[in-house]
Amino acid sequence: MKCIAKDSALVPNTDLLVVFAFAGAPPMLPPSVKLPKPFASAVRGEFREIRHTDAAQGPSPRVLVLGLGKPAEFDVERLRRVSALAVQRAESLECANAVLWTSKALISAVKGGRNAGAALAEGASLGAYRFQTHKSKPKNVKLQRVTLCGEGSDFAAGVERGLVYAAATAFARDLQNQPANFMRPRDMAAAAQQLARRGAGVRCRVLGAPQIRKLGMGALLGVAAGSQEPPQLIHLTYTPKGRSRGRVALVGKGLTFDTGGISIKPAGKMWDMKYDMSGGAAVLGVFHALAELGCPFEVHGVVPCSENMPDGRAVKPGDMVRAMNGTTIEVLNTDAEGRLILCDALSYVTARIKPDAIVDLATLTGAVVVALGHEYSGIMTRSDALRDELLSAGEAVAERLWPLPLAEHHRDLMRGEVADLKNIALGDPGAGASQGAAFLWHFVGDTPWAHLDIAGTAWGASNRDYVGGPMGSGVGVRLLLRWLETRRG
Ligand code: BES
Ligand code: ZN
Ligand code: ZN
């Protein structure tokens, strides 16, 4: 499906014209369109209310009216959602094309054309997302073109930006949704290489097992020891065209399947652990968009990739591994593997890249799901500035974050008996998400750093029309893009 922007004064002829209505007000219509009176007066304008009729007059034989709810409750997130609903209805009505028409009033309700265009484009594009790679009879969708009509010089720019955000998110979703036998560490590495071929300004280096060993990444190697698949360390670099406003590093957990290892998980829902690479998918998704957005920062994306499998060669509970920075770690539970592959990635980033800020994303703990559920990702950081920047980016794109504590005593819980650290705390002190973050804290030195635990939000959030449901959500991509777009260097 192709999505384009047009000025709202120029409504093209179409199979389906979509217009919007606030609660208690008549539908907002282009001047040439007339709706049958009884239909128009039946529209109540409740949020997500959806009705269609034949038009009495205008550029389309059929008009769909979508409810926006009360003006005071209306925001960009509602606009994303109704845009997705409109496209999904256009698909089920088997239209070849559709026009979504927005009035001046609607655009000012979201504070301008840029916001409106971006929200409409994200909603339309992500609402039409499908993963059909492995369907022997993929659903044949007739809808070819969606035209977004709006006013103002920045409306078209907003649409363009929304489409770039959506394409990057869809790229991440595709990686997430692949079964783990199609998305092995080497497949993630290939996807990263493909990004470097596609976008100007993006380079990719993939380190294989021999190089990982040479760097002394014993924690990553330990997790991979039980698998037939060698680990991979992806390092993507984006260099801006002009002067750089600073250097940031994004780190993502790329665990392509988590059985738990010798500390094996129960069988129920173990299939969901193909999504344990969602943090890595988000980082790759970001690199899909950086060049197109003209990002002014030098951005590094580091994704350690591995499977976590039980085997005769696998690390056993109590075994000791040595991380790249020399820290020794007792692996008391082989299912707490995310922090092990990430600690080597974080050591690498701090020692080799020396960024101004690090953000890591990981499906790290079941505990964050208990604490926050599926609508909020946990954010744990010692930097108030990073926390505030990321919280407001999350609010803007409706990928919401909620702070969880990260204190010295969490850090102390992770100190080891035999070795420097242990990968789980003893004595069941609770605060599992903070423990995971505290373990990682030992590897970032003084670099400002934020850890996002996306175990609850990477899949399985409640359906919000363009996002949520049982498949991969692509969470993190729009959040980080927005953060990079609004961050002051
Ligand atoms: N990948 C899991 C975390 C997870 C669980 C993500 C459920 C999404 C849904 C992680 O590797 C893990 O197994 N963590 C353990 C840590 C524990 C052993 C300290 C957990 O949360 O149970
Ligand atoms: Zn695990
Ligand atoms: Zn895991």
Report the residue among 307, 365, 422 best suited for mutation to probe ligand 1: largest number of ligand atoms under 8 A from its CB. 365
Instruction: Tell me the average pLDDT of the chain.
Output: 97
CA distances from 62 to 39, 138, 146 (A): 12, 27, 15
pLDDT of the residue at 66: 98
Distance CA 197, CA 363 (A): 28
Which amino acid does the sequence have at 276? D
Q: What is the mean pLDDT of residues 163-178?
A: 99
Classify residue 152 as left (phi > 0), alpha (psi -120 to 50) or beta: left
Q: What is the pLDDT of residues 257-293, one digit of tens each?
A: 999 999 999 999 999 999 999 999 999 999 999 999 9
Residue nearest to atom 22 of ligand 1 (CA): 366
CA distance 439 to 406: 10
Give me ligand 3 centre to Cα 167, in Å. 26
Q: What percent of the chain has pLDDT over 90?
A: 98
For residue 211, how far is its CA from the centre of ligand 3 (angstroms)? Answer: 23
130 an active-site residue? no
**Which pLDDT score is estimated for 200?**
82
Which residues form the pocket of ligand 1, taking CB atoms under 6 Å from any ligand atom?
258, 276, 333, 335-338, 363-367, 369, 424, 432, 455
Ligand 1 atom, smallest distance to 367 CA: 21
Burial class of residue 242 (count of CB atoms within 10 Å of its CB; 0-12, 13-18, 19+): exposed
- Which of these, 119, 110, 115, lies nearest to 154 by C-alpha position? 115
Ligand 2 centroid–CA 394 distance in Å is 26
Contact 419, 329 (CB under 8 A): yes
pLDDT in tens, 296-326: 999 999 999 999 999 999 999 999 999 999 9
Number of H helices, E strands in the chain: 15, 18
pLDDT (0 to 100) of residue 55: 87
pLDDT in tens, 80-120: 999 999 999 999 999 999 999 999 999 999 999 999 999 99
pTM for this one?
A: 0.98
Pocket test for ligand 1, best of 315, 335, 341 (most atoms within 8 A of CB): 335
What is the per-residue pLDDT for 21?
A: 98
For the stretch 346-364, what's the b/e string if a residue is b when 16 or more beta carbons lie within 10 angstroms of its beta carbon? bbbbbeebebebbbbbbbb
CB 305 within 8 A of CB 180: no
Distance from the CA of 358 to the center of ligand 1, in angstroms?
22
CATH 3.40.220.10 intervals, the chain: 2-168
In this model, does residue 199 exceed pLDDT 80? no
The answer to whether residue 198 is catalytic is: no
CA distances from 17 to 86, 144, 163, 172 (A): 10, 15, 21, 31
pLDDT-derived band at 56 (thresholds 50, 70, 90) equals confident
Q: Give me the CATH code for the 2-168 domain, please.
A: 3.40.220.10
Listed in order, the ranges of the chain carrying CATH 3.40.630.10 are: 178-486
- 125-162 pLDDT, tens per residue? 999 999 999 999 999 999 999 999 999 889 999 999 99
Q: Whose CA is nearest to atom 13 of ligand 1?
A: 335
**Architecture of the domain delimited by 178-486:** 3-Layer(aba) Sandwich (3.40)
